[in-house]
Structure 1
Amino acid sequence: MPMDLRVGDIIETRKQHPCGGNRFEIMRTGIDFRIRCFKCNKQIWITRKNLEKRIKKVERKEDE
């Protein structure tokens, strides 16, 4: 069963991005995810399978 990940969630990954950051914001969901690094602002496309393996912690945004 896939993880419940939503647009706007902030995730912390096990591995660091080459810039040294490990916190990302989810910008697009589906089979492929688009995530944005908080440290360098770079956007990355990654498959759901690879992203779910790398996630350490999910911080859910409050529903408005």
Structure 2
Amino acid sequence: MYDLHDLVQMKKPHACGTNRWEIIRMGADIKIQCTGCGHIVMMSRRDFDKRFKKVLVKAAPKADADN
């Protein structure tokens, strides 16, 4: 569904007018950063799932460092 560094859209736009957020931390809580103004919001995974609308851009897969 969503992963670290994905750009996501939430149901309501941010006060700056942008509705694009980057997921910068995942765990029991999820931290997202507004791509417009840089504001950071941390919320529980349950709250995030209720406010999440869709993934706009999937993060590029990491290159394997062992090669």
What TM-score, normalized to structure 1?
A: 0.83
SS at match of 1:63: coil
- Unaligned 5+ runs, structure 2: 63-67
What TM-score, normalized to structure 2?
A: 0.80
**Moved runs in structure 1, 4+ residues, more than 4 A?**
none
Deviations 1:8-35 (A, max 9, x none): 1110111011111111000000111110
Is the 2:22–2:34 contact (alpha carbons within 8 Å) kept by the matching residues of 1? Answer: yes
Equivalent pairs, count: 61
Bigger CA radius of gyration: 2
Find the aligned partners of 2:23 and 2:48 in 1 and give their Cα distance. 11
% same residue: 34
- Unaligned 5+ runs, structure 1: none
Partner of 1:49: 46
1:1-40 equivalences under 5 Å are 4-40=1-37
